[in-house]
Amino acid sequence: MKRRNSSVSKKGIAKNILLLIGLVILGYFIVTSGIIENYQVLTKVNILLLILALILSIGTIVVKIYRWKYLSRSYGQEITWHESSMVFMPSLFYGNITPGKVGDLYKAYYMKHRYSMNYLDGVSMLFYERFIELLILFLVGAAIVFVQFRGITVIALELILLVLVILLFFYYRAEKFVSLAQRIIVKVPFLSDDKEFNLHINKMPFMKIISVFIITLISLVLEFIRLWIVALAFGYVLNPILLSVFLSLSIIVGLVSQIPLGIGAMEGSLNVFITSMGVPATISIAIVLVDRIISMYFALVLGFIFSKFSMDALTEVAE
């Protein structure tokens, strides 16, 4: 018991250190950007466009709720929109406050205890969800290699071909990815006592994988448009393709950093990218901060609120 408490304590310390590092990075970019001295830029923003950006942020969440609903149906568990929200929304909180989004495993935990779904199916759903999202981000981010030299049509064809090849490879070799994840995954408190828990992938038919890919792509396109509109609200019409590439790269940087919320790492990298597009540092950091508030931090608050209702629902089942 003492060893386990010591392990949990070390993980908590590590998480706090990472969070502190992220806050320091974020603070550095805020101070050096000059936004503190020129805070007036925040008062000149187009409010109507920010409202539209917030609506798009909500739309992204709705699409992801539908994605979980679709995945649940694919694994034989039909759930309503409300029930899907009770599973997905808390993950916006648990997933983002844990390094590497390990807290996302709450969804598999909830599906087992609320609907008696096998952990293997819940983890399989989560694996497809995460893998495909990361795949799209990687592919869009990789477009930076071609953006300066190729036409948009050629880029699109190359990416589509690469998507098909990787999806086919994933479909037939999923166990290899899972075996690797099994060896490196961090133990989650609400799963560590469950001896039945074990990572495994129950494969979906290929056409259903394509459907999940399309749903995920729609959610990410909404995110790309949201950032473009936030920039427009500050009076800057940026290249939407290049901006999408930079947003994808910054999300990847945030995930690789292992810092909860990717705080500091994501904001800092995206600020550098947008500045490279000719936007003054003061405006760039303002765009990044506002976009993060109406997307990530807004989702975090919603996730925290829903986590309370979700836990109450599990308590009712236990009683």
pLDDT at 302 over 70: yes
Using an 8 Å Cβ cutoff, are 60 and 298 in contact? no
Choose among 89, 106, 103: nearest CA to 301: 89
* From 36-50, 68-82, 83-97, the region with the lowest mean pLDDT: 36-50
**Mean pLDDT throughout 294-299?**
90
Mean pLDDT (the chain, rounded): 78
For 56, phi then psi, to 5°, come to -65, -35
How many residues would you count in the chain? 319
Count how many domains the chain has.
Answer: 1
* Between 120 and 200, the higher pLDDT residue: 120
- 200 falls in which pLDDT band (50, 70, 90)? low
Using an 8 Å Cβ cutoff, are 255 and 130 in contact? no
d(Cα 98, Cα 109) in Å, to the nearest integer? Answer: 16
What pLDDT shows up at residue 295? 92
Which of helix, strand or coil describes residue 6? helix
Q: Which range has the top average pLDDT, 21-30, 37-46, 144-153, 274-283? A: 274-283
Which of helix, strand or coil describes residue 189? coil
**Mean pLDDT throughout 165-171?**
60
Using an 8 Å Cβ cutoff, are 202 and 123 in contact? no
Mark 70-105 as b/e (b = at least 16 C-beta within 10 Å).
Answer: ebbebbebebeeebbbbbbbbbbbbbbbbbbbbbbb
Element (H, E) at 180: helix 152-184
What pLDDT shows up at residue 80? 94
Residue partners of 263: CB distance under 8 A and separation at least 6: 19, 22, 23, 25, 26, 254
**Mean pLDDT throughout 306-310?**
85
pLDDT-above-70 percentage for the chain: 70
Using an 8 Å Cβ cutoff, are 294 and 272 in contact? no
State which amino acid sits at residue 176: K
d(Cα 168, Cα 60) in Å, to the nearest integer? Answer: 27
pLDDT at 40 over 80: no
State which amino acid sits at residue 170: F
* Between 152 and 213, the higher pLDDT residue: 213
What pLDDT shows up at residue 130? 84
Using an 8 Å Cβ cutoff, are 154 and 146 in contact? yes
- 170 falls in which pLDDT band (50, 70, 90)? low
**Mean pLDDT throughout 126-147?**
78
* Between 17 and 275, the higher pLDDT residue: 275
pLDDT-above-90 percentage for the chain: 31
d(Cα 258, Cα 279) in Å, to the nearest integer? Answer: 28
d(Cα 198, Cα 314) in Å, to the nearest integer? Answer: 21
* Between 240 and 101, the higher pLDDT residue: 240
* Between 1 and 121, the higher pLDDT residue: 121
pLDDT at 52 over 50: yes
Range of the domain at 38: 2-318
pLDDT at 154 over 50: no
Note the pLDDT tens digit of each residue in 219-233: 999 999 999 999 999
What pLDDT shows up at residue 319? 56
* Between 95 and 288, the higher pLDDT residue: 288
Note the pLDDT tens digit of each residue in 66-77: 999 999 999 999
pLDDT at 54 over 80: yes
